[in-house]
Structure 1
Amino acid sequence: MTALAVTWATLLRALRDRGALFFMVLLPVAIIVVLGVTISGFDVFRVGVVPAARPGPVAQELTADLRQAPGLRTHTYESAADARTALRRAELDAVVVVPAGLDADVLDGRTVAVTVLVEPSGSAGHAAVSSVSAVVADHAARLQAARFAAEQTGGTFEGGLSAARGAEQAAAPIAVRTETVNGQSDYLPLGYSYSTPTMLVLFVFINALAGGATIVQTRRTGVYARALAAPVPARALVLGETVAYLLLALLQSALIVGVGAVAFDVDWGDPLAAGILVTLWALVGTGAGVLAGAVFRTPEQVHAVGPTVGITLGMLGGCMWPLALVPDWLSTVGHALPHAWAVDAWTALLSRDGDLSAILTDLAVLGAFAAALLALASLALRHRLNAAPER
């Protein structure tokens, strides 16, 4: 019962701390949103569209195709000058200028060139040209089909264009499907499916380290010393604090998982595997946090060193970028840390549709880290509690 009382008191103290709640709830969600939006934009290009003056049906249809293209995020400009200004300000990746005489040239059978403007140093602009070219090519194919239909039936071009649209909607077009060979991928999916699990790994660990400051403060104010004089065994205090920080880590993990699933449509993969992975990572964070509370002498030391250590370990462990992109020696260094194994496990679940058997090695390594950290934390905190009172 004494351990439960310690756990309850620690939980109440943490949940009443507005600063702790900010770092536990609001900050991770904010960074998930920023990273998710940024990363999800790698395959979506910002394109300005300048419609033709007094556009006909063909020009209007081309403009509509550009606006509806899944790989383009378009914005319409009234003049090419305004679009050029936005391009120079890096507000756009490319600008498409629809020719003024597009309909007349198409009806007369002349070749039409659609101008695409890009910045000379912008790599995204040249990639955007490929997406724009694909849309224009589809539109041109429809026009060729319309001209062919008009010539064969002796009808009008407008009638052939209508028939081409109908045939295009009736017959399923050829689609390109991207599939990773053997289902293997070394990267988490882009967007929120990348930022959410990596921020879970990062912030659960950082907040656990920061929680060690509360243990240090409790030591220095003599609360533990008075409890031991009650007498309360040191193991009960250690167990109570450990359970409290484990529950806090699980609570933060549940919040991130819930927000990711509900707000950002993140699929966390196999529920059993994901649940075990979240629990083991919470144990790793708990061990690190309690160990920090036992090792550091002042709360200021925890606040100064803890976040720096947490962010550094997160960077080395693949929370900021995939370790598959770094040199082999750096990846080896990263896998000396628990973060890399946690990110590897999430990659197997989210990118390879893995189940519990696919991440058993990762879970075993994380379990070893958790056991070692919890054992060290327990021994160190009990030694602190049984030592002479601190000043």
Structure 2
Amino acid sequence: MNRIFAIAGTDLKRLFRDRSALFFVLVLPVLITLIIGLATGGLGTKVRLGVVDRGSGALGAELRQTLAHSPRMRLTHYGSPSALRTAVRHQELEGGVIIPAGYDGDVRAGRHVTVLFVTNPTTTPAAVRSAVAAAVNRQSELAGAAGFTVREASVTLDRGYVVAREQAVSGGGVRVESRTSFGTAPLPQGFSYTAPSNLILFMFITSLAASAVIVNNRRLGVTRRMLASPTSATQVLLGQGLGRFATALFQGTFILLLGRVVFGVNWGDKLSAASIVLVFAVVSTGAALVVGTLARTEEQTSALGPPIGIGLGMLGGCMWPISIVPHALRVLGHIGPQAWAMDGFITIIGRGGHLGDVAPNLLALAGFAVVLVPLGAWRLRRTY
């Protein structure tokens, strides 16, 4: 066992003496996460909300004013629901509110009213949904309280609203209906998406690039010298595999902690997040072993690793949400492990999922590991 750890430790020391390797393991993922996270509103920039209001009356105007005063939103008025939906679909807006005609009269008459909230699942932050719902619910409370005051105190409806605002009594009467313009469910925003996507992307790419150590050992005769010592082929194999696994796990854990401490990412259920990182590290290890045995030179690992990692990352949702691409591409994306890992992170970060919810994703990743690790080990053993 000591020999296995010694081999793994030696490989890690050689890797981390390389300044370019340290840049790719530690610095580049942070820079990419920071740049893309800022570009997608990671620091809480105001989001663009469209409003359609055609003859909604005084209460509709009051609702618009409430939304306009929100520190999280910048309002833009649209002339028709179709124009607003198009703007949301084209990502000119993060969301939109459609206040129906006759809103004021219906609310005052005690009739149920539906305020439509049009969303884009890739760009509408949960905080905006909450702000819109809170504004409409506030008017729902006022409507219920005003109606109660009219019935009990025999005053006019306008007077009832005055009393209701003074007393801030809860009530009902208006409901919010949320519809997505396309897609199936909201996604994490800002750093909450870029941190897990870059974690997955760079764990895989770095592992493939680090397979150069395997090639270097073979080229310099290090492997042969280890086998000439009282070290078995199994120990050499396990040591080299452990070195690749430790590299992937270190980088994944680093980005996980950095995302939480520096970028404020709430990773959701900790056990689920740790499980995804752990299993994906095993998958990355298997891929590194395969590439390390296919490549004949260190330059070939550099030529193979990044294109494979970036290509699978693009298909798997590390560059953009996989939910916005056509169905055929979503299916194609799941031929690689990245899509399964990203689906798992979206489930726990964006939807509050737990270990049971990501079990299918973990099983799929385990399937990749079961194929890649034995294949890489078999090919590596043949090179001894």
Give the TM-score normalised by the residue count of structure 2. 0.67
Q: CA 1:178–1:217 in 2, change beyond 3 Å: closer, same or farther?
A: farther
Deviation of residue 269 (structure 1)?
A: 1.1
Deviation of residue 168 (structure 1)?
A: 7.5
Q: CA 1:300–1:68 in 2, change beyond 3 Å: closer, same or farther?
A: same
Residue 40 of structure 2 corresponds to: 39
Residue 119 of structure 2 corresponds to: none
SS in structure 2 of the partner of residue 8 of structure 1: helix
Q: CA 1:368–1:381 in 2, change beyond 3 Å: closer, same or farther?
A: same
Residue 257 of structure 2 corresponds to: 258
**CA deviation vs aligned residue, 1:81-131 (integer Å, no higher than 9, x gap):** xxxxxxxxxxxx99xxxxxxxxxxxxxxxxxxxxxxxxxx9x999759989
- Distance in 2, matches of 1:169 and 1:22, equals 60
Task: Tell me which amino acid in the other structure corresponds to 1:213.
Answer: A
Task: Give the conservation status (yes or no) of the 8 Å contact 2:208–2:305.
Answer: yes
- Distance in 1, matches of 2:12 and 2:259, equals 24
Residue 225 of structure 1 corresponds to: 224
- Distance in 2, matches of 1:28 and 1:172, equals 50
Task: Give the conservation status (yes or no) of the 8 Å contact 2:215–2:297.
Answer: yes
Residue 295 of structure 1 corresponds to: 294
Deviation of residue 45 (structure 1)?
A: 5.1
Q: CA 1:7–1:43 in 2, change beyond 3 Å: closer, same or farther?
A: same
Residue 100 of structure 2 corresponds to: none
- Distance in 2, matches of 1:230 and 1:129, equals 66
Residue 106 of structure 1 corresponds to: none
Residue 116 of structure 1 corresponds to: none
* Equivalent residues, number: 296
Task: Give the conservation status (yes or no) of the 8 Å contact 2:316–2:336.
Answer: yes
Deviation of residue 44 (structure 1)?
A: 2.7
Residue 83 of structure 1 corresponds to: none
- Distance in 2, matches of 1:297 and 1:67, equals 63
Residue 376 of structure 1 corresponds to: 375
Deviation of residue 69 (structure 1)?
A: 2.9
Residue 190 of structure 1 corresponds to: 189
The residue correspondences of 1:1-391 to structure 2 (distance < 5 A) are 1-40=2-41, 44=46, 69-72=71-74, 127=93, 171=168, 186-385=185-384
- Distance in 1, matches of 2:306 and 2:297, equals 15
- Distance in 2, matches of 1:365 and 1:376, equals 17
Q: Compute the RMSD of aligned alpha carbons.
A: 3.8
- Distance in 2, matches of 1:372 and 1:126, equals 43
Q: CA 1:178–1:254 in 2, change beyond 3 Å: closer, same or farther?
A: farther
SS in structure 2 of the partner of residue 355 of structure 1: coil
Deviation of residue 188 (structure 1)?
A: 2.8
Deviation of residue 381 (structure 1)?
A: 0.6
SS in structure 2 of the partner of residue 374 of structure 1: helix
Task: Tell me which amino acid in the other structure corresponds to 2:382.
Answer: H
Give the TM-score normalised by the residue count of structure 1. 0.66
State the identity %: 38
- Distance in 2, matches of 1:196 and 1:128, equals 21
- Distance in 2, matches of 1:35 and 1:168, equals 43
Q: CA 1:16–1:68 in 2, change beyond 3 Å: closer, same or farther?
A: same
- Distance in 2, matches of 1:349 and 1:36, equals 19
Task: Tell me which amino acid in the other structure corresponds to 2:223.
Answer: Y
Max Rg structure: 1
- Distance in 2, matches of 1:124 and 1:327, equals 15
**CA deviation vs aligned residue, 1:289-313 (integer Å, no higher than 9, x gap):** 1221111100001111210111001
- Distance in 2, matches of 1:35 and 1:255, equals 18
Q: CA 1:355–1:2 in 2, change beyond 3 Å: closer, same or farther?
A: same
Deviation of residue 15 (structure 1)?
A: 2.1
Deviation of residue 67 (structure 1)?
A: 8.7
- Distance in 2, matches of 1:198 and 1:220, equals 34
Task: Tell me which amino acid in the other structure corresponds to 2:10.
Answer: A
Unaligned runs of 5+ in 2: 49-66, 77-86, 98-130, 136-163
- Distance in 2, matches of 1:129 and 1:215, equals 50
Deviation of residue 13 (structure 1)?
A: 1.4
Task: Give the conservation status (yes or no) of the 8 Å contact 1:193–1:267.
Answer: yes
Q: CA 1:234–1:264 in 2, change beyond 3 Å: closer, same or farther?
A: same
Q: CA 1:304–1:128 in 2, change beyond 3 Å: closer, same or farther?
A: closer
Task: Give the conservation status (yes or no) of the 8 Å contact 2:290–2:372.
Answer: yes
Unaligned runs of 5+ in 1: 47-64, 73-92, 95-120, 139-166, 386-391
Q: CA 1:187–1:212 in 2, change beyond 3 Å: closer, same or farther?
A: farther
Deviation of residue 250 (structure 1)?
A: 1.0
**CA deviation vs aligned residue, 1:336-391 (integer Å, no higher than 9, x gap):** 11111111111111121111111111111100101211101110111011xxxxxx
Task: Give the conservation status (yes or no) of the 8 Å contact 1:317–1:335.
Answer: yes
Task: Tell me which amino acid in the other structure corresponds to 2:72.
Answer: P
Q: CA 1:126–1:236 in 2, change beyond 3 Å: closer, same or farther?
A: closer
